Amino acid sequence: MKWALVGASTIADQWMVNAIRAAGDDIVAIVSGDLTRAQSFATKHAIPHALDNEAALDHLGIEAVYISNTNEKHEASVCRAAAAKQHVLCEKPLAVALDAARRMATACDDAGVTMATNHHLRHNAAHRAMRAQVQGGALGQISSARLSHSVYLPKHIQGWRLTERGAGGGVVLDIAVHNADSLAFIFGDYPSQVCAMTSNTGMATGLEDNAMSIWQFPSGMTAFTHQGFNTPFAQTHVQIHGDKGSLHGEGILTQAAGGTLSLSTAAGTDAVALDNDNLYERVIKNLHLAIHDQAHANADGWGGVRSLCVAHAILESAATGRTVDVRYD
């Protein structure tokens, strides 16, 4: 399959070029609003065409597009690709505004092309194992979960994430969407209500860089989540508790494969064996499955919309001081 990259981003550079090529696919073009940046990226990764105009992609036989420009630009890029009958893998959050995200998913549906949201964390081996344990009944009746995705945002990707809400900045739009998708993947459902508080610890300017919230799910289960940009010594973790057992995952909310998972029951605590599969390579493999109408594990376009709905509800709750119903329609 022939790909174009829209956005000469850090994630494209460090992860997605290799993931696409690992599937045996070709990267034909890179597009950036800064032509010099596109040319430098193309030279580094041996990509034939460096462009500053997405319309030029229509003449290169492109079959799929990976979109990682800044979030306020996603809608135009996705809708252009859909109109050109190109399959879409789009970074999260899909957009800043919910209506824009819905238009993106609708455009791909109407064009008959496959759309995936790059929620890579669901492909972590621990996430897959937790899903199997939960849905297989190993924990019994699930009562609660705790998820901490508080990190230190590396300096080379801080930029707009700390200053520009219009580009998708702030820790909620950047990280909480991942967490909504992770828990939906594990439990098979999204929260119905959230109650949140956010704060600024001094890293961001005019935006939240720390958020904590409680989510209630339709089953009655509650989850506590924490997102942060300014905790250099924190470790990410996920805990799930039921009346027959608990799962404890450490270091499993990262881009690289790894981390540990243990299952505690009346019989004791045992480590759960995990593979070391590359998360982004799994995204691409599952996109191929989706394109061929086979069962897959990716978040589709509407999954990306729903995770964004949760993030918006968190921001609304923090702003109003009230518990908020998550609106998915």
What is the side-by-side strand order in the sheet with 222-228?
268-271, 260-265, 246-250, 237-242, 142-150, 222-228, 210-216, 193-199, 324-325
The pLDDT of residue 129? 98
The reply to whether 29 and 114 lie within a common domain is yes
The pLDDT of residue 305? 98
pLDDT along the chain (329 residues), means of 10: 97 98 98 97 98 94 97 97 98 97 98 98 98 97 98 89 89 97 98 98 94 98 97 96 98 95 98 96 98 97 98 98 97
Within-domain flag for 293: no
Dihedral pair phi/psi, residue 299, rounded to 5°: -80, 125
| Cβ-proximal residues to 176 (8 Å cutoff; 6+ apart), any chain | 211, 213, 225, 227, 310, 311, 314
Q: Tell me, what CATH number does 269's domain have?
A: 3.30.360.10
The reply to whether 204 and 79 lie within a common domain is no
The pLDDT of residue 168? 87
Residues 304 and 293 sit within 8 Å (Cβ to Cβ):
no
The pLDDT of residue 143? 98
The reply to whether 128 and 109 lie within a common domain is no
The pLDDT of residue 167? 83
The reply to whether 112 and 138 lie within a common domain is no
The pLDDT of residue 32? 97
Residues 212 and 225 sit within 8 Å (Cβ to Cβ):
yes
The reply to whether 63 and 170 lie within a common domain is no
Residues 29 and 52 sit within 8 Å (Cβ to Cβ):
no
The pLDDT of residue 166? 87
The reply to whether 163 and 306 lie within a common domain is yes
Q: Give the position of tokens 């690992």.
A: 22
Within-domain flag for 284: no
The pLDDT of residue 133? 97
Which of 63, 91, 120 is the last residue before a domain boundary?
120
Within-domain flag for 127: yes
pTM of the model: 0.96
